[in-house]
Amino acid sequence: MSEPDDVILGIDLGTTNSLVAWADDRGPRIVRGEGTDGVLPSVIGFEPGNGRIVVGAEARAHAVERPETTVFSVKRLMGRGLADVAEDVPWLPYRLVQRRSDDGQRDIAAVEVHGRVYTPPELSAMILRELKQQAERHLGRPVRRAVITTPAYFDDAQRQATRDAGRIAGLEVVRIVNEPTAAALAYGLDLAERARIAVYDLGGGTFDVSILQLRGGVFEVLSTRGNTHLGGDDFDRELIKLLQDEIRQQHGQTIQFPPSTQQAFRSFAEAAKISLSTDAQATVEIDLGGGRLYHRTITREEFEARIEPRVQETLVCCCRALVDAKLEPKDLDQVILVGGSTRVPLVRRRVEQLFGTAPYTALNPEEVVALGAAVQASILAGTRRDLLLLDVTPLSLGIETMGGAVSKLILRNTTIPCESHEMFTTFVDGQTNVKIHVVQGERELAADCRSLGQFELRGIPPMPAGMAKIEVTFLIDANGILNVSAIEQRSDTEASIQIIPAHGLTPNEVDRMELASYEHAREDMLAHRLVDLRNQVEFDTTKTEQMLAKVGNHIDAGQRDSIVRAMQQLRTLAGQTRDPERLHQELDAFGKLTVRLAELAVAQTLKEQPE
C-alpha cells in the first residue's frame, strides 16, 4: 500500500519530446529542471569511447556529427517487428536490426549501437529514467510510480512495450492513459459541465482523434480513431523529399547523402517547419560537400501543398470517429488541439473547417498530455474524486477460427474495462493443450489483422474429443491491455496459459533488462564521476605547480620532492584508472599533503597585495 505522500508522476513519453508532471491539491504542474522549460527531447546519444549515454538536448546537439549513435523516434518502433517499420528504415540513420528471441518465435525491431542491441523498451526506459530523475530532483524525494500516456490508437503490443519500458526504468506503471483523453482531463472542469468535445492530437509521430461526452466530471469516450504512423516527422520528411528531389535534378540522380547530411536535412527541415508556422517563408542551407552549397527558400504555400495529403488523412479519421459516435460536426461543442504539430497553420485551418468551430487551445498543446496524466495520477492516488475517465478500446479483439477467419469477441470503441467469455473444446481424444491465436484489428482475415500472439491453454485433463469445456475470459483492463484466463468447467481446473507475444518481451526478459539497466546506470554514474575527478586532478596539480614555483623555496627540499612525486603519481593514476573511489582517495591524500604549501601560497598572495 502507498504512503499518503507518495507522488505518482504523469509522463508524456513522446516521439520527439517527453515531459513529466505531478499534481497536488493545487492542480497539475510540469516539472521544470533548472532554467529549462521541462521539455526533454526524446533523443538518446551514445558517446564514442567512454560508453556514456546521454539523453535529451545534449544528445540532440550531437545528432548531425554522430548520426549512427544518436537514437530518436523510438516510439515508432515500440511493440513492432522489423518488417512493420520498413518504411521508417530509410529515414533513421542509426542501425535497425531484428532481434530474435531465444525461442526463435518472436522478432522485435531493435537498434544496434557500438555492437550492442537495444530493444525499444530499453531505449524508452533511458528517457523515462531521465524524467524520473528530473522529477526526483525537483520534488526532493524518490518516486517509484507513474502514469504513462500512449496514443489512443496504440495496440496491445505497443501498450505492453510502454509498460515494459516503465519497469525497466524502475517505475511501477500504475496506468497507461490515452493521450487525447489525458488532454481532455487536463482541461478538466474548465470545460462545460455537459458537453461533447473532439480532441485532435497530432504529435511527432502519431495521430489520434477522440470524441468525448462530458457529464458531471465523467469523461466518457464515445469513439476513437487514429494512425500510429502519422505525425510531424512525416511533415519533415515531405520537406526533405522536396529538397532532395531538387538537389538530384541539379546535381544528378546519383548524388549520395551520407548519414550526417541526412541528419542535417532532418534538422533543417524541422527548423523550417517550425518557422513556417509563424513566417511566410523559411531558408535552408545545406553543405553538400565538395564545395557545393545548396540554398533554398521555402514558402508556406509550398510546404502546405506538400503536407496537404497527410492532413487530409487526419480529417478522414475525424469523420470516421464522428460516424462511430453517431454524431455530426455540428453536435460538438468544442474541439481541443493537442500536440506540437497542431501549431502548423494548415492543420488549424482544416480542423476549423471540418468542425465549423475555432479550436480551443487555452493550454499549451505540448504540455497538456503530461498535465492530464498527472490528473489521472491524482485520481488513482485517491486525492481527486471529482473526475472519472471512461475510455474505450480502439481496435476490435478477435480470435482466429477455422480457415483463417476472425471471430470478433470485443468490438472497437467498447468502454474499458470490458470482457468476453468464449467456450473452447478439444478435437482429439486425450488432448491436453489448446492453442488460441488472438488478433487485433478490423479486417475479416486473421492474416490482415495484427497478431497479439499465441495463447496456449495447458493442463486440460485428458478426456474424449469435444468433452472438455474450457471457458476462456478475455479481459481488456483499464490500461487497454488484454488479460486472458481460462477454466475447464467439467473438472473445474484452472488451465494455465502461456502467452507468446508476437513482438513483445517476456516477463523474464523485462526482469533481466531492468537489472541490466541498473547496472548500466551505475556504470554511467561511475563514468561521469571519473570524468569529474580527472578534471579535478588536472586543476589541483596545475595549481600546485604554480604554488611550487611561487613559494616552493619556503618549504624543505624533502617535502618538496614528495609533493612533486605525488603529483606525478596522481596524474598517471588519473590517466589509467577506471576506479573513481581510488582516484578520490588519492586526490584527498594529495590535498592533505599540499595543505602547508597552500597556506604559504595564500599568505604570500596577501603579502603581495596589501589592502
Partner 1 sequence: MSQDRSDIAAPSKCNQCDQPLASPLVCQHCRRLVDIGQTDHFALLGLERNYDLSSELLSEHFVALSRQVHPDYFSDRSGGQQRLAMRNSARLNQAYRMLRDPFTRAEYLLELAGGRCSAEDRSVPANLLTEAMQLREQIEEAKSQADDATLVDIRKDLLARRDHTDEQIRLLARRAAHTDVSPEVLRDLRKQLNAFRYFANLLEQL
Residues labelled catalytic: 12, 75, 179, 201
Give SS3 for 49: coil
- Choices 330-338, 383-391, 436-444, 462-470; region in contact with partner 1 by CB under 8 A: 383-391
Q: Report d(CA 79, CA 452) in Å as an integer.
A: 10
Contact between 2 and partner 1 (CB under 8 A)? yes
User: Measured between alpha carbons, how far is 479 from 160 in angstroms, rounded to an integer?
Assistant: 9
The residue whose grid cell reads 533488462 is: 513
Task: Tell me which stretch binds partner 1 (CB under 8 A): 75-83, 118-126, 385-393, 446-454.
Answer: 385-393
Examine residue 388 and tell whether it contacts partner 1 (CB under 8 A). yes
Residue 365 grid cell: 498543446
Query: How far is the C-alpha of 311 from the C-alpha of 338, rounded, in Å?
Result: 15
* Range 158-187, binding partner 1 (CB under 8 A): 174
Contact range with partner 1 by CB under 8 A, out of 65-73, 340-348, 388-396, 583-591: 388-396
Question: Is residue 545 part of the contact set for partner 1 (CB under 8 A)?
Answer: no
Judged by CB under 8 A, the residue of 1, 402, 428, 557 near partner 1 is: 1
Residues 6+ apart with CB under 8 A from 407: 398, 399, 400, 401
Q: Residue 221 or 567: which CB sits closer to partner 1? A: 221
Range in contact with partner 1 (rule: CB under 8 A) among 158-166, 229-237, 243-251, 376-384: 376-384
Contact flags string 325-364 toward partner 1, x per CB under 8 A = ----------------------------------------
Phi first, then psi: give them for residue 583, nearest 5 degrees.
-60, -40
Strand partners, 55: 44
Among 96, 117, 354, 380, binds partner 1 (CB under 8 A): 380
**Set of cell numbers at residue 204:** 511527432
Minimum distance, C-beta of residue 461 to partner 1, in the bound complex (Å)? 25
600 binds partner 1 (CB under 8 A): no
> Is position 324 an interface residue for partner 1 (rule: CB under 8 A)?
no
Helix (H) or strand (E) holding 45: strand 44-46
Binding status of residue 575 toward partner 1 by CB under 8 A: no
- Annotate 233-266 with DSSP letters as a single string: HHHHHHHHHHHHHHHHHHH-TT----HHHHHHHH
Q: Does 389 bind partner 1 (CB under 8 A)?
A: yes
Stretch that binds partner 1, among 85-93, 384-392, 425-433, 561-569 (CB under 8 A): 384-392
User: Which CB atom, from 379 or from 505, has the smaller least distance to partner 1?
Assistant: 379
Residue 528 burial (10 A CB sphere; 0-12, 13-18, 19+): middle
Residue 197 in the binding site for partner 1 (CB under 8 A): no
Q: Which DSSP state fits 392?
A: B
Q: Please report, as residue ranges, which positions from 457 to 476 form the binding site for partner 1 (by CB under 8 A).
A: 475
> How many residues touch partner 1 (CB under 8 A)?
25
Does residue 481 bind partner 1 (CB under 8 A)?
no
Burial of residue 154 (number of CB atoms within 10 Å: 0-12, 13-18, 19+)? buried
Output Rg (C-alpha) for the chain, integer angstroms.
29
- Tell me the closest approach of the beta carbon of residue 408 to partner 1, in angstroms: 14
Long-range contacts of 471-475 (CB under 8 A, 24+ apart): 471/421, 471/422, 471/423, 471/424, 472/421, 472/422, 472/423, 472/424, 472/436, 473/419, 473/420, 473/421, 474/397, 474/409, 474/410, 474/419, 474/420, 474/421, 474/422, 474/438, 475/417, 475/418, 475/419
Using the rule CB under 8 A, is 290 a contact of partner 1? no
Q: Does 477 bind partner 1 (CB under 8 A)?
A: yes
Q: Is 255 in the site for partner 1 (CB under 8 A)?
A: no
Of the two residues 218 and 603, which places its CB atom closer to partner 1 in the complex? 218
**Of how many residues is the chain composed?**
611
Closer of 220 and 540 to partner 1 (Cβ): 220
Question: Segment near partner 1 (CB under 8 A), from 164-172, 299-307, 411-419, 462-470?
Answer: 411-419
From the CB of 380, what's the least distance to partner 1, in Å? 5
- Cell 517487428 belongs to 81
> Is the preceding omega at residue 359 within 30 degrees of 0, hence cis?
no
- From the list 152, 119, 32, the residue with the least C-alpha distance to 505 is 119
385 in contact with partner 1 (CB under 8 A): yes
Q: Any contact of residue 423 with partner 1 (CB under 8 A)?
A: no
State the nearest-atom distance from the C-beta of 216 to partner 1, in Å: 7
- Is 390 a binding residue for partner 1 by CB under 8 A? The answer is yes
Interface residue with partner 1, options 416, 463, 547, 587 (CB under 8 A) = 416
Q: Which 3 state secondary structure label does DSSP give 20?
A: strand
Shortest CB 388 distance to partner 1, Å: 6
Should residue 216 be labelled a site residue for partner 1 when binding is judged by CB under 8 A?
yes
- Residue 382 interacting with partner 1 (CB under 8 A): yes
Distance in angstroms (rounded) separating the CA atoms of residues 295 and 257: 16
| Binding residues for partner 1 (CB under 8 A) | 1-2, 174, 215-216, 218, 220, 376, 379-382, 385, 388-390, 414-419, 475, 477-478
